[in-house]
Structure 1
Amino acid sequence: MNLPTRAQDAHATLAAAFNTGDVATVLSMYDYNGIIVPEPGKPVSGKAKFEEAIKAILSIKGKMEIKTVYCLQTGNLAVGRSEWSITDGDEVKIQSKGIEVMQQQADGTWKIVIDHAFGALENV
């Protein structure tokens, strides 16, 4: 799977990779020098922690859906707000509202630098 060449496509690319079990694409969507918040109040950084967080999310069986609420871009930076969930049939395994900061790479693709999966919830 190819990385997104438009910031507003990052959410759809991430969900598609998750739903096909494409761990390599999911991992390549992130800048390991950034921050990911896989659980409320527990930010992590660095390649090993990113991989651990991504693999934990991928271990949740079901279908991921990510709705882009907005994506604002200026130059090679963008911020997105998402509403996402992982469902298995009618069962909602997890759902939240996130905030993501993305940066365009030298090759024109976009990577997520900050992924606060719960960042748009109150009191997180």
Structure 2
Amino acid sequence: MHLPKKAEDVHAALAAAFNTGDINQVYTIYDYNGIIVPEPGKVVSGKQQFEEAVKAIMAVKGTMEIKTVYCLQTGDVAVGRSEWNITDGDEVKVSAKGIEVMRRQADGSWKVVIDHAFGALDTLKA
């Protein structure tokens, strides 16, 4: 899998990686030095917790779709707002609105450094 060369392509790359079912491909989209919020109110960091969070998301069987609402970039940093879901046929398993911070890597590719998967929900509490 090729990592995205544009910040605005990160959401599509993440969905494509998820849909392969290969957890290692999903890991390549993330910067392990960052944080992930795999469920409302739960912030994790560090490689072990990060991997556990990704495994939990991968355990939801279905097809992931991510719509980029916006992606704003300045230099080597970008922030994106997404609307995403995981569906299995007609059944919606998970649906949320996220906020992601991406950073350009030394090789020119982009990775997610902060993934607040539920960060743009109207009912979210800090």
Length-normalised TM-score, structure 2 = 0.96
Residue type at the aligned position of 1:59: A
Q: Distance in 2 between matches of 1:97 and 1:78?
A: 17
In 2, are the aligned partners of 1:79 and 1:100 still within 8 Å (CA)?
yes
Instruction: Specify the SS of the correspondent of 1:123.
Output: coil
What's 1:109 paired with?
109
Does residue 75 of structure 2 align to residue 36 of structure 1?
A: no
Deviations 1:6-64 (A, max 9, x none): 00000000001111112112111111111100010000001001110001101100000
Equivalent residue runs for 1:37-56 within 5 Å: 37-56=37-56
Deviations 1:71-102 (A, max 9, x none): 00000000000000000001000000000000
What's 2:94 paired with?
94
In 2, are the aligned partners of 1:3 and 1:25 still within 8 Å (CA)?
no
Total equivalences in the alignment: 124
* % same residue: 73
* Bigger strand share: 2
- Report the CA distance between 1:123 and its aligned residue: 3.5
Instruction: Specify the SS of the correspondent of 1:44.
Output: strand
Residue type at the aligned position of 1:90: D
Q: Distance in 2 between matches of 1:39 and 1:54?
A: 11
- Runs of at least 4 residues off by over 6 Å: none
Length-normalised TM-score, structure 1 = 0.97
The CA RMSD over aligned residues, in Å, is 0.7
Instruction: Specify the SS of the correspondent of 1:43.
Output: strand
Does residue 77 of structure 2 align to residue 77 of structure 1?
A: yes
What's 1:21 paired with?
21
In 2, are the aligned partners of 1:100 and 1:115 still within 8 Å (CA)?
yes
